[in-house]
Amino acid sequence: MLIRYGYEITINCWQPTAVVTLLEIRDGREGDIRSPEVFTATPPTATKLYRDLFGNVCRRFIAPSGDLTLSSDSVIEDTGLADPFVPEAEQHAVADLPDECLVYLMGSRYCETDRLSQLAWNEFGHIQAGWPRAQAICDFAYNRIRFDYQNARSTRTAFEAYEERTGVCRDFAHLAIALCRCMNLPARYVNGYLGDIGVPPAGPMDFSAWIEVFLGGEWRTFDPRNNTPRIGRIVVAYGRDAADVAMVTSFGPHILNRFQVWTDEISPETGATSGAMATGGR
Predicted pLDDT at 240: 98
Predicted pLDDT at 201: 84
Split at pLDDT 50, 70, 90, the class of 104 is: very high
Mean pLDDT value across residues 188-205: 90
Question: Is 68's pLDDT higher than 70?
Answer: yes
Predicted pLDDT at 32: 97
CATH class of 94-244: alpha beta
Dist CA 211 CA 193 (whole Å): 13
Mean pLDDT value across residues 153-159: 96
Question: Is 277's pLDDT higher than 90?
Answer: no
Residue pLDDT, tens place only, 206-261: 999 999 999 999 999 999 999 999 999 999 999 999 999 999 999 999 999 999 99
For 2-80+246-279, CATH gives 2.60.40.2250
Question: Is 39's pLDDT higher than 70?
Answer: yes
Question: Is 122's pLDDT higher than 90?
Answer: yes
Question: Is 72's pLDDT higher than 60?
Answer: yes
Split at pLDDT 50, 70, 90, the class of 203 is: confident
Query: Over the chain, what is the mean pLDDT?
Result: 94
Mean pLDDT value across residues 62-84: 97
Mean pLDDT value across residues 11-17: 97
Predicted pLDDT at 80: 95
Determine what percent of the chain is predicted with pLDDT higher than 70: 95
pTM above 0.75, yes or no: yes
Predicted pLDDT at 270: 59
Domain residue spans in the chain?
A: 2-80+246-279, 94-244
Determine what percent of the chain is predicted with pLDDT higher than 90: 90
Predicted pLDDT at 276: 34
Predicted pLDDT at 268: 79
Predicted pLDDT at 267: 83
Predicted pLDDT at 202: 77
